Amino acid sequence: MTEQDSGRMQRIGEQIARQLAMTIQQGLKDPRVKLVSISSVTVTRDLGQARVSITAFGTAEEARVQVAVLNRAKDFLRCVLAKKLSLRVTPRLTFVYDEKSIQAQNVLSLINKSMHRDAPHQEDEIE
């Protein structure tokens, strides 16, 4: 894949992400899909597939349910994309939960715990 192809796939992925975000927020009526954020969209070179990584706020179980709901609605979402985007081929969608967000939350939690644990020692050093 050339650098030009890579840039094109990235731009298409960004277009898909923007449109999906609006459609999920405004057009998806399922109450189980609450706060969902699209982390990234990776599109294959032939535009046949798009892997949509999402971050769902709430518990891990709620996130799994939201991913399942989005995967059940993927045909509807693909149809909306086909109408809104001017692409020759509209990719088939696959929604996956972005594990990186959980890892980032864990790292932030560890940093916060460490800072709170060290805070009393820092006050002693200042005096």
61 part of a folded domain: yes
pLDDT of residue 62: 86
Count of domains for the chain: 1
The CA distance from 20 to 51, in Å, is 12
15 part of a folded domain: yes
Q: How many helices (H) and strands (E) does the chain have?
A: 4, 3
| b/e sequence 29-64, b meaning 16+ C-beta within 10 Å | eeeebeebebebbbbeeebeebebbbbbeeeeeebe
Report whether pLDDT(127) > 70: no
24: containing domain: 3-99
Find residue 36's DSSP bridge partners: 56
58 part of a folded domain: yes
State the CATH number of the domain containing residue 20.
3.30.300.20
The model carries a pTM of 0.75
Q: What is the pLDDT of residues 45-63, one digit of tens each?
A: 999 999 999 988 777 788 8
123 part of a folded domain: no
Which of 104, 90, 105, 102 has the alpha carbon at shortest distance from 20? 90
50 part of a folded domain: yes
78-98 mean pLDDT: 93
